[in-house]
Structure 1
Amino acid sequence: MRVLFIQGGFGTGGAEKVIAMIANHRVAQGDEVEVAAMRAPKDGTYYNYSPDVRLTVLEPDVDMSAPANQMRRLRQVRRLIRDRKPDVVVSFLTKINVLTLVAGMGRRVPIVISERNNPGVQNNHPVWKKAAMLLGPRASAIVTLTERGRDQLPSKLHRRAHVIPNPCTPMNGSRNQKKSRATDLVAVGRLDWQKGFDLLMQSLAKLRETHPDINLTIFGEGPERPSLERLRSELELDGVVSMPGTTQKHGAWLGEGDIVVVTSRYEGFCNVVAEATLSGVPIVSFDCEFGPREMIQHEVNGLLVQTGNVEELTESLRRLIENAELRQGMAQAANLNKDYLDPDRILGDWDRVINSAVKD
């Protein structure tokens, strides 16, 4: 089977991670697999691919965020589908899904699309959301990450929608939780308004009034770096909050903190929650839609906080910092999500969706 995956880039995102896993899995089964993306980091793909997976960068030197370039991107995708003649196309993320569905018109190739974020609140132009709703019926199958995400789809699309969470395995390197007080917080994600790092800094400033030894490291890169650096200075946190950029190795952030903090205003799933809970790292997270509630059992393997509530976030962090017994209990609850996030089971679900799309 010839399988063509289409995504935005070869960077550090959760969608990129999952496509790499599925692509490697399919090529190991004997499929002819190609992964195409609009762009790639200068130093190559962030996630590892099998040498048998063909990698294609469509527009390496073009700013494809500019609206005027969307037609150029559409032509590139259409040409790729025409030239490769895949048996099935799999695309991730709203904009790429829309372009892929349009590009596939008249090609008689099944297309599986996957929505990876919260379409109701993500910061896309309304045209993209409307286009996604109109073009959705053209997809052979639609994959969402959670049941609540599936419920966001129009009812007419529910029949062809499948819920498949992101696969995840435990990572090594988490800290021992035996010390009486935690001192190091860590957060991970794109430096973007969605991730709520501005709220996290506000909480940290309040927290340090009673715990002056607490510090925070935020791993990630993105457009909000200048504004976050200004806020850090305004809150007098320059020597307290570190923003070293993206880790060179996936999961390298795991041993950098006693507690993981997730302050996303919205998510599609949140891989950081998956990785932290499976690896036994205590976590405090906003109960945003969607993802954290699916993986965190409050008081058992983490604490859930009302989304956007800085005061509640501060108190929850203070409680976990001071309570070694609670942190140790969370570390020991690492197996709670083992079956839910099991890669073999989830890749099997993806196989069924892809294979069914081709048979239909």
Structure 2
Amino acid sequence: MKKILIVLPTDSLGGAENYLKMIAFHYKNEDVEIYAFKNNERGRWNDVGEFANMKFISKAHEVTGIIGFVFIMLFKRKKYDYIYTSIIYANSVVGILKTLGIIRSKYFIARESTSIFLRFKGTQLNFYKNIIRLGYRKMDLLICQTEVMKEQFSKHFKNIEKRTLLRVIPNPIDLKNSKTRSGKQLDLKLPDEFVVTAGRLIELKGYDLLIDSFAKLKSEHPNLKLIILGEGDKLEELQEQATMLNILDSVIFSGFVNNVYPYFKKAKICVVSSRIEGFPNVLLQMMSQNTKVVSSLCAGGIEEIPGIYTCKAGDEETLTTAMRLCLNTNTEKNRQVFDDYLDARSVDAFIETINTTLKDRV
């Protein structure tokens, strides 16, 4: 039986956490341990607890959770077959502990969750660069989501590939899970016609741009609603924006939703409006349910996806144009196009690619 260790910052369920959750389910018949530095008590990993040993360490702060994790690993001194992480400081913590011999593993597979060289500047960027230098020395494989991300790493850390395999492996999607969950009934009665998006309510997601675009389309489609799935510190600001545009009664802020798939399936169109992403996993989820999908070019590789409607990142005018075109076009042919594209991104195919790539390490 393989011994699997998965380490994440919190029990949230953003893109990086969703990726690790898919990995956990892939190994559900193995010996799986999951550690989160902070426990926000949201219960979003409860289903994984049916087969994995989970420890969400601190209710106070991620730093105290990291300290607790170090002591746990010191006590266990267990050797793992595979370690999986995804967010920079989780990658770095595990990497440092491997360097010190506190954690041992056959393979350490880390994944970059965002493009730090595009997203951050100044002191914050220097901080991340320093922890990468400290913690990325003992990785067997560092997964980049796109070629752009890989090129940035190679440029800023010129020696990284001397000690670590740096590879582009596109994000996986759990198609079996998406099909099962899309068929589940919702307690909420959905509007007859609506646009849907999903993600944290932060500036990078571009929901201010989406609300502006929706307001323009509203005059052409008077029955259309906008549903925003997610929670975050921009909620009041976005509500005020919708009020100023006189469309608040048509914009539904649903908060965090455990099952997004029925929303995606029943929407008139699904939209990713982000200014910047590592790669938006939610885009793949939307494609699994709906043939009408719009996305900003917020990450490398999106322009290569067949069938979706794209626009410039951070540009409300081209977003409006893409949404209008998508709404008014018959996209039935996209179902087969999307299915073929997503089949190549299955979790099983993703793990197989990892195992094949790791042979180069031997």
TM-score greater than 0.5 by the shorter chain: yes
Q: How far apart are the structure 2 equivalents of 1:281 and 1:40?
A: 37
What's the secondary structure of 1:36's corresponding residue? strand
1:212 and 1:278, CA in 2 relative to 1: closer, same or farther beyond 3 A?
A: same
Tell me the equivalent position of 1:320. 326
Q: How far apart are the structure 1 equivalents of 2:69 and 2:119?
A: 24
Conserved 8 A contact 2:109-2:143: yes
Tell me the equivalent position of 1:349. 353
Tell me the equivalent position of 1:63. 61
Give how far 1:27 is off: 4.1
Q: How far apart are the structure 2 equivalents of 1:254 and 1:160?
A: 36
Q: How far apart are the structure 2 equivalents of 1:149 and 1:47?
A: 32
- Structure 2: tracts of 5 or more residues without a match: 184-191
Equivalent of 2:169 in 164, 173, 194? 164
1:11 and 1:134, CA in 2 relative to 1: closer, same or farther beyond 3 A?
A: closer
Equivalent of 1:86 in 79, 98, 121? 79
1:196 and 1:228, CA in 2 relative to 1: closer, same or farther beyond 3 A?
A: same
Q: How far apart are the structure 2 equivalents of 1:203 and 1:51?
A: 43
What's the secondary structure of 2:91's corresponding residue? helix
Q: How far apart are the structure 1 equivalents of 2:51 and 2:172?
A: 22
Give how far 1:263 is off: 0.6
Give how far 1:351 is off: 4.2
Equivalent of 1:212 in 198, 222, 231? 222
In the alignment, structure 1 residue 271 sits paired with structure 2 residue 281: yes
Amino acid at match of 2:160: L
Q: How far apart are the structure 1 equivalents of 2:94 and 2:104?
A: 11
What's the secondary structure of 2:117's corresponding residue? coil
Tell me the equivalent position of 2:152. 152
Tell me the equivalent position of 1:120. 117
Q: How far apart are the structure 1 equivalents of 2:10 and 2:301?
A: 23
Relative to its length, the structure with more helix (as a share) is: 2
Tell me the equivalent position of 2:92. 98
Deviations 1:309-333 (A, max 9, x none): 211111121122222x2x3233443
- Structure 1: tracts of 5 or more residues without a match: 65-69, 175-181
In the alignment, structure 1 residue 76 sits paired with structure 2 residue 71: no
Q: How many residues align?
A: 336
Deviations 1:178-222 (A, max 9, x none): xxxx94211011111111111101111222233333221011111
Tell me the equivalent position of 2:38. 39
Give how far 1:232 is off: 1.6
What's the secondary structure of 1:142's corresponding residue? strand
Q: How far apart are the structure 1 equivalents of 2:359 and 2:9?
A: 24
Amino acid at match of 1:321: L
Tell me the equivalent position of 1:235. 245
Q: How far apart are the structure 1 equivalents of 2:355 and 2:28?
A: 12
Tell me the equivalent position of 1:186. 196
Deviations 1:257-300 (A, max 9, x none): 11001111111121111112233431111011235334x22xxx
Tell me the equivalent position of 1:303. 309
Give how far 1:14 is off: 2.1
1:24 and 1:321, CA in 2 relative to 1: closer, same or farther beyond 3 A?
A: closer
Conserved 8 A contact 1:74-1:103: no
Q: How far apart are the structure 1 equivalents of 2:268 and 2:260?
A: 18
Q: How far apart are the structure 2 equivalents of 1:232 and 1:92?
A: 35
Q: How far apart are the structure 2 equivalents of 1:99 and 1:189?
A: 26
Q: How far apart are the structure 1 equivalents of 2:25 and 2:315?
A: 41
Q: How far apart are the structure 1 equivalents of 2:233 and 2:358?
A: 35
What's the secondary structure of 2:32's corresponding residue? strand
Conserved 8 A contact 1:10-1:41: yes
Structure-1-length-normalised TM-score? 0.84
Conserved 8 A contact 1:254-1:276: yes
What's the secondary structure of 1:328's corresponding residue? coil
The root-mean-square deviation of aligned C-alpha atoms, in Å, is 2.6
Q: How far apart are the structure 2 equivalents of 1:34 and 1:292?
A: 33
Conserved 8 A contact 1:81-1:104: no
Q: How far apart are the structure 1 equivalents of 2:3 and 2:346?
A: 26
Structure-2-length-normalised TM-score? 0.83
Deviations 1:101-125 (A, max 9, x none): 2333311624432111112233582
Q: How far apart are the structure 1 equivalents of 2:355 and 2:51?
A: 18
Tell me the equivalent position of 1:67. none
Give the share of equivalent positions with the same residue, in percent. 22
Conserved 8 A contact 2:202-2:233: yes
1:75 and 1:251, CA in 2 relative to 1: closer, same or farther beyond 3 A?
A: same
Equivalent of 1:109 in 104, 107, 115? 104
Tell me the equivalent position of 2:189. none
1:63 and 1:217, CA in 2 relative to 1: closer, same or farther beyond 3 A?
A: same
